[in-house]
Chain A
Amino acid sequence: MKEERKKIILILLISIFMLSFCLLPVIYMVIISLSKNPDFLSAEKTLRFTLKNYFDVLSVRSLHFTDYLKNSIAVSTISAALSVFIAALAAYSITRLNLPGKVILLFFVLVVSMFPQISLVGWLFKLMAELGWINTYPALILPYIGWILPLSLWILVSYFSQLPKELDKQALIDGCSRWQILFKVLFPVALPGLFSTFLLAFIFAFNEFMFALMLTADHKARTIPVGIALFQGLHGEIPWGNIMSAATIATLPVIILTIVFQKRIVQGLTRGAVKG
Chain B
Amino acid sequence: MLPKGTEKSKELIEAYSFISPLLLFILLFIFVPVVGTIVTSWFKATTFLSEKFIFFENYRLLFKDVNFWQSAQFTFLFILVSVPIELFLGILFALVLNCTIPLRGLLRVCVLIPWAIPAAISARIWELIYNYNYGLLNFLFMKLGIIPKPINWLGTSLGAFFSLIIADVWKTTSFVAIILLAGLQVIPEELYAQAQVDRADFLQRFYRVTLPLLKPAIIVVLLFRTIDALRVFDLIYVITSGGPGGTTTSLSLYAYKYFVGGDFGYGSALSVILFLIAFFMSIVYVKLAGFSKEIA
Which A positions have Cβ atoms within 8 angstroms of B? 3, 6-7, 11, 14-15, 18-19, 21-26, 28-29, 32, 38-42, 83, 86-87, 89-90, 92-95, 97-100, 102-103, 105-107, 109-112, 114-127, 142-143, 145-147, 149-150, 153, 157-158, 160-161, 178, 203, 206-207, 209-210, 213-214, 224-226, 228-229, 231, 240, 243-244, 247, 250-251, 254-255, 257-259, 262, 265-266, 269-270, 273-276
Given contacts A22-B114, A120-B37, A269-B175, contact A97 B18 (CB under 8 A): yes
Given contacts A18-B93, A118-B271, A178-B18, contact A209 B233 (CB under 8 A): yes
Contacts of A243 in B (CB 8 A): 124, 128
Contacts of B21 in A (CB 8 A): 86, 89-90
A111 touches B119 (CB 8 A): no
Closest to B126 in A: A25
Given contacts A146-B26, A147-B29, A228-B121, contact A161 B296 (CB under 8 A): yes
Cβ 8 A contact of B36, one of A24, A123, A207 = A123
A123 touches B278 (CB 8 A): no
Q: 4 tightest A-B contacts by CB? A: A146-B29, A161-B296, A114-B282, A93-B18
13 CB contacts below 8 A, A to B, read A38-B128, A92-B18, A93-B18, A97-B11, A99-B16, A103-B292, A112-B30, A150-B26, A160-B296, A229-B234, A231-B124, A247-B125, A250-B121
Contacts of A273 in B (CB 8 A): 179, 220-221, 224
A110 touches B286 (CB 8 A): yes
B264 touches A126 (CB 8 A): yes
Given contacts A26-B113, A147-B29, A262-B108, contact A116 B182 (CB under 8 A): no
B178 touches A251 (CB 8 A): no
Contacts of B14 in A (CB 8 A): 93, 97, 178
Contacts of A262 in B (CB 8 A): 105, 108-109, 112
Whole-angstrom CA separation of A135 from B215 in the bound complex: 45
Does B249 have its Cβ within 8 Å of any Cβ on chain A? no
- Kindly specify which of B57-65, B131-139, B155-163, B187-195 makes contact with the partner chain: B131-139
Given contacts A25-B129, A41-B135, A270-B178, contact A114 B285 (CB under 8 A): yes
B30 touches A146 (CB 8 A): yes
Contacts of A143 in B (CB 8 A): 29, 33
Closest to A37 in B: B134
Count residues on chain B whose CB falls below 8 Å from chain A CBs: 104
Whole-angstrom CA separation of A148 from B164 in the bound complex: 26
Closest to B267 in A: A122
A229 touches B237 (CB 8 A): yes
B34 touches A210 (CB 8 A): no
B113 touches A22 (CB 8 A): yes
Closest to A86 in B: B21
Interface centre among B118, B275, B279 (most CB of A within 10 A): B118
Does B110 have its Cβ within 8 Å of any Cβ on chain A? yes
B118 touches A209 (CB 8 A): yes
Cβ 8 A contact of A118, one of B11, B255, B285 = B255
Does B96 have its Cβ within 8 Å of any Cβ on chain A? yes
Contacts of B1 in A (CB 8 A): none
Closest to B185 in A: A270
Cβ 8 A contact of A119, one of B112, B136, B272 = B272
Does B19 have its Cβ within 8 Å of any Cβ on chain A? yes
Does B213 have its Cβ within 8 Å of any Cβ on chain A? no
Contacts of A109 in B (CB 8 A): 22, 26
B18 touches A120 (CB 8 A): no
